[in-house]
Amino acid sequence: MDKDFGYLIIINTESKHDYTNMAYALALSIKNTQKEGYKKVTLVIDDKSKLENITSPWVFDLVIEKKLPQGWDCRTYMDKLSPFEYTVCLDADMLFLEDYSHWIDHFIEKCDLYVPSKSYTYRGDVVTDNYYRRAFVENELPNLYSFFTFWKRDTQVVEDFFSLVRDITLYPDEFSNVYLNKYKPKIVGTDEAFALSAKILGIEDKISYDLEFPRVVHMKGNVQNWLTPTDLAFNMVGFYLNRKGNLKIGNYQQHDIVHYVDKDRINKEYVSILEDILWKS
């Protein structure tokens, strides 16, 4: 591909969870599955020295060290931080399992900005449970997910959208009081900020129409349509990554992007499997 496209992963290492490891596993999985020209990965990290602990830091084509003030969400600056003309910003706790490159061509051709409004259970059903999305329902926000955000640099809609996302993130109380007064979430997270920005700008339909991609399997426990309520999905179903990089969750083979959510799920053994696949390819 001759287009300047790449994936962007933004992490903050000041956490009890090992986000460096998650970003590394995601980058490995992208390198293992995507076609040439569709697998560049840029990592934005607050402390570059954390990469000394990983075996193949070269899976990140570019590493940008960026320290933002405490409490600021770097992801709201994704449009400013990306080195690419066309970018998909991903949450770190995800894995790619198959080649989805053809969809990137679609986005590049058709979209300035695309934010998905669907996610899937590990059984392949569209998530319909609003357990974690009460603020969206009560305040009639578009059901946006920031875990896979595509945009084209230097477009007006992108500038307007992310500027407002930053304002919302900087002044959550002010925006909540006005726009989320039917139900205030404890934290105005990136998803809420995205949804609110899209709603205020009136661009929901422009940036988030129905598409068969991305299909992201969202492993939050209470959206799996189970009888048993649980926050931790992997207390209920197994996570089996074999030596070929094929992933089964419970009884289901996974083919879509998996957002495993459980921040301690990817241990050294799984990383070593993904490394082996890359080194032998």
Partner 1 sequence: MNKGIIIFAQNSPKVDYALMAIVSGSLAKKNLGLPVSLITDTQTLKWLGTSGKKQLAEDVFDQIITIDKEEIFNERRLFDGDESEIIPFKNFNRSMAYDLSPYDKTLLIDSDYLVLSDKLNQYWDVDEDVLISQNCLDIYDDSRLGYLDKYVSDTGIHMYWATTVMFTKSDKAKIFFDYIDSIKENYASYSDIYRFHIKQYRNDISFSIAKHVIDGYITDQEYVLPPVLTVTDRDILHDVIDDKLVFLISDRSTADFFACSLSNTDIHIMNKQSIIRHADKLLEMANG
Chain contacts with partner 1 (rule: CB under 8 A): 123-124, 224, 226-228, 236-237, 248, 250-253, 255
| Cβ 145 to partner 1 shortest distance, Å | 22
Toward partner 1, which CB reaches closer, 55 or 230? Answer: 230
- In the chain the beta strands, taken as DSSP E runs, fall at 5-11, 41-45, 62-65, 86-90, 94-95, 113-114, 148-152, 216-218, 239-241, 247-249, 252-254, 257-259
Toward partner 1, which CB reaches closer, 142 or 221? Answer: 221
Toward partner 1, which CB reaches closer, 95 or 195? Answer: 95
Number of neighbours of residue 74 by Cβ within 10 angstroms: 17
| Cβ 125 to partner 1 shortest distance, Å | 8
Toward partner 1, which CB reaches closer, 45 or 261? Answer: 261
| Cβ 22 to partner 1 shortest distance, Å | 24
Distance CA 196, CA 175 (A): 9
Toward partner 1, which CB reaches closer, 213 or 252? Answer: 252
Counting Cα atoms < 13 Å in the Cβ hemisphere of 279 gives 10
| Cβ 224 to partner 1 shortest distance, Å | 8
Distance CA 44, CA 10 (A): 5
- Crossing angle of helices 19-33 and 268-280, rounded to 10°: 30
| Cβ 122 to partner 1 shortest distance, Å | 9
